[in-house]
């Protein structure tokens, strides 16, 4: 793509507000007149530099790439959310916001050099064709997939709905490879990945036999796992709430952990399902915006106002997730449990050939600019944005609202909240960190591989009686030790000990030092068994989850994961105790504050 000189004038006219996903506000203000002069002077110099490079540089230079590098240079002076997207990135953006694409409907990952099916999505062409978790896709259209990058594999499997793709699959326990010809379809990835009562003995399918008492005592507590705010998320959450109400739920867990966000309209819609009509959900303000844009709840809530609600969040909860969490917190509609959120409180406007003409811009057909143009503010007036700049950023000027962590804001009932750096939780839960051995086993896909192998060897597993036994743990250890998997675990400190042995030998410290170093090595290696013992509860849980998912599907895998979820456990201590919940969400005692903190915080933008 070659940009004309006049195209650089667009920087003076980036003046609309929209959150991630592309909502365009109609009003535009002109920037200061001196900006035009500065841009004009630089444009002349830039054109001369470009001409000199193209004519005189020692090697040929691609003019298109040269001009795109100029765009990258400008964007490097901005935050990490402003970007100029190529066609593949535009498709990724469309999939994120729309939650749909043409493909087969499988989740894949690289396992033992081949793309491997982690899970087929129910009701998709892959599901209907009979693909199973553990199937290795060894060929696509007669071309080997050995060590081919996953993004290339995904590109080959996706395509126009109605077209077909030929794949060859190696299935554990099936001998010869299996050929499939599968017709692609429009795949809609649900934003709600799971909903149901946390413990429902009447439910069909898998219930963890070894579930702890705190989970078994959660009868009547509904759970919704919302993984994104793609188009349709509001409708999916509404249906989930209606189903839970029909099952007589007495409390709701809305799980927004690792939810990166999505569309503003969906964030507003989801919050609207929980808040009373007429409550402020979010407002936005930027330089080019005339006044605040304020969004309110417009409908009666989908659940009774008295029903207790807990929202689970963590450092992966961002953008639209933070809008919903902050709206529920500031309106005192529920408790926020977990860890502080990511802190993406900025607004992006998407400019392309369809919309750029409305703002005096002249983008080509394939161009798309995503530019940060505003911050959003919670109902209490706080900005929870945590500024993040590219490595090229120099001397960034950050608005007061986006960096202020000291000013105290108040929820509708007077509880203290603060801004600048994510949504702070009402109840903090520290992460449950497994030992290093567990992560090494997980990184090598050994839990998944064992689940596939175990399911082949035990085709008649019963979801009502299945659990991970001590015999199964021993079997897993033998599986890991098998030379086929070539898994070796080096305990922490072994590398440093090897370096010490080498250094003492080279220094000629003698046999006595060498003997002591070797004794230390033997003691360290003896810790391998102790390390597995420390990892055993995590190994047991991951095996339960992996096997349940392989045999009975993703919903069963989610139910298996409940059993060691510490944040969920903490949430249930409030949802199963109405007095404790009411006490936590009630008005906190007001502590004396300096006079300058008593004033209402200003919603600043720049």
Tokens 């449990």 sit on residue: 337
Phi, psi for residue 51 in degrees, rounded to 5: -60, -45
Q: Are 143 and 164 in contact (CB under 8 A)?
A: no
Instruction: Supply the DSSP symbol for 402.
Output: G
119 classed as catalytic: no
CA dihedral 480, 481, 483, 486 (to 10 degrees): 60
Q: Are 381 and 601 in contact (CB under 8 A)?
A: yes
319 classed as catalytic: yes
Pairing of strands 221-226, 251-255: parallel
- Which one of 168, 344, 370, 386 is the catalytic residue? 344
Q: Are 602 and 383 in contact (CB under 8 A)?
A: no
CA dihedral 565, 571, 577, 580 (to 10 degrees): 130
Helix or strand or coil: residue 83?
Answer: strand
- Which one of 272, 330, 561, 565 is the catalytic residue? 330
Please choose, from the candidates 532, 536, 554, the residue with its C-alpha nearest in 3D space to the C-alpha of residue 545. 554
Tokens 């249906």 sit on residue: 239
Please choose, from the candidates 273, 276, 284, 270, the residue with its C-alpha nearest in 3D space to the C-alpha of residue 231. 270
Please, what is the Cα angle at 182 between 177 and 188, to 5 degrees?
125
Tell me the C-alpha distance between 254 and 311, whole Å: 5
Q: Considering Cα of 326, then 331, then 337, then 339, what sign does the dihedral take?
A: positive
Instruction: Supply the DSSP symbol for 182.
Output: E
Helix or strand or coil: residue 243?
Answer: helix
344 classed as catalytic: yes
Pairing of strands 335-338, 427-428: parallel
* Overall residue count recorded for the chain in this entry: 606
- List the strands of the sheet with 251-255, edge to edge: 192-197, 221-226, 251-255, 309-313, 335-338, 427-428
For residue 379, give Cα distances in angstroms to 173, 290, 518, 529. Answer: 57, 19, 63, 53
Residue 215: CB atoms within 10 Å:
21
For residue 280, give Cα distances in angstroms to 80, 249, 578. Answer: 28, 26, 26
- Which one of 228, 317, 319, 321 is the catalytic residue? 319
Q: Please list the active-site residues.
A: 319, 330, 344
């Amino acid at each position: 793509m070659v940009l004309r000189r006049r195209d650089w004038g667009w920087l003076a006219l980036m003046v609309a507000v929209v959150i991630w996903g592309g909502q365009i506000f109609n009003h535009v203000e002109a920037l200061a007149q001196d900006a035009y002069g500065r841009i004009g002077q630089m444009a002349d110099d830039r054109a001369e530099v470009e001409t000199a490079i193209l004519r005189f540089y020692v090697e040929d230079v691609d003019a298109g790439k040269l001009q795109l590098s100029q765009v990258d240079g400008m964007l490097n002076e901005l935050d990490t959310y402003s970007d100029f997207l190529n066609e593949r990135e535009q498709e990724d953006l469309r999939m994120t916001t729309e939650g749909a694409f043409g493909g087969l409907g499988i989740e894949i990952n690289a396992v033992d050099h081949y793309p491997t099916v982690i899970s087929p999505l129910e009701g998709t062409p892959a599901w209907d064709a009979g693909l199973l978790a553990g199937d290795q896709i060894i060929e696509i259209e007669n071309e080997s997939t050995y060590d081919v990058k996953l993004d290339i594999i995904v590109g080959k499997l996706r395509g126009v709905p109605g077209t077909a793709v030929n794949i060859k699959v190696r299935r554990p326990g099936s001998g010869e490879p299996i050929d499939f010809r599968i017709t692609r379809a429009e795949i809609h990835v649900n934003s709600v990945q799971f909903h149901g009562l946390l413990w429902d003995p009447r439910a069909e399918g898998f219930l963890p036999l070894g579930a702890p008492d705190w989970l078994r005592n959660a009868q009547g507590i509904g759970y919704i796992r919302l993984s994104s705010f793609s188009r349709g998320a509001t409708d999916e959450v509404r249906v989930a709430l209606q189903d839970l109400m029909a099952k007589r739920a007495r409390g709701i867990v809305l799980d927004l952990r690792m939810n990166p966000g999505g569309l503003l309209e969906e964030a507003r819609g989801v919050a609207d399902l929980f808040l009373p009509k007429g409550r402020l959900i979010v407002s936005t303000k930027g330089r080019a915006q005339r006044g605040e844009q304020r969004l309110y709840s417009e409908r009666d809530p989908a659940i009774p106002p008295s029903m207790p609600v807990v929202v689970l969040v963590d450092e992966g909860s961002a953008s639209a997730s933070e809008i919903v969490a902050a709206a529920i917190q500031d309106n005192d509609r529920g408790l926020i449990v977990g860890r502080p959120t990511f802190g993406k409180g900025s607004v992006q406007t998407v400019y392309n050939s369809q919309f750029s003409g409305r703002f005096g811009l002249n983008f080509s057909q394939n161009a798309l600019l995503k530019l940060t143009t505003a911050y959003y503010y919670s109902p209490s007036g706080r900005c929870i944005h945590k500024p993040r700049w590219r490595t090229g950023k120099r001397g960034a000027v950050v608005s007061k609202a986006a960096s202020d962590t000291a000013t105290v804001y108040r929820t509708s009932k007077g509880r203290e909240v603060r801004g600048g750096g994510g949504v702070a939780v009402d109840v903090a839960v520290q992460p449950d960190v497994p030992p290093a051995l567990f992560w090494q086993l997980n990184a090598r896909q050994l839990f998944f591989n064992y689940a596939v192998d175990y399911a082949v060897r035990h085709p008649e597993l019963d979801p009502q009686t299945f659990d991970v036994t001590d015999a199964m743990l021993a079997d897993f250890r033998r599986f890991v030790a098998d030379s086929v998997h070539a898994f070796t675990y080096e305990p922490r400190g072994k590398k440093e000990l090897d370096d010490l042995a080498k250094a003492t030998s080279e220094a000629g410290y003698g046999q006595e030092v060498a003997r002591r170093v070797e004794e230390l090595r033997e003691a360290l290696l003896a810790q391998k068994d102790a390390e597995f013992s420390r990892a055993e509860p995590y190994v047991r849980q991951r095996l339960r989850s992996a096997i349940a998912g392989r045999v009975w599907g993703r919903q069963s895998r989610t139910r298996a994961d409940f059993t060691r979820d510490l944040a969920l456990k903490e949430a249930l201590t409030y949802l199963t105790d109405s007095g404790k919940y009411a006490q936590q969400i009630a008005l906190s005692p007001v502590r004396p504050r300096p006079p300058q903190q008593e004033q209402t915080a200003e919603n600043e933008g720049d």
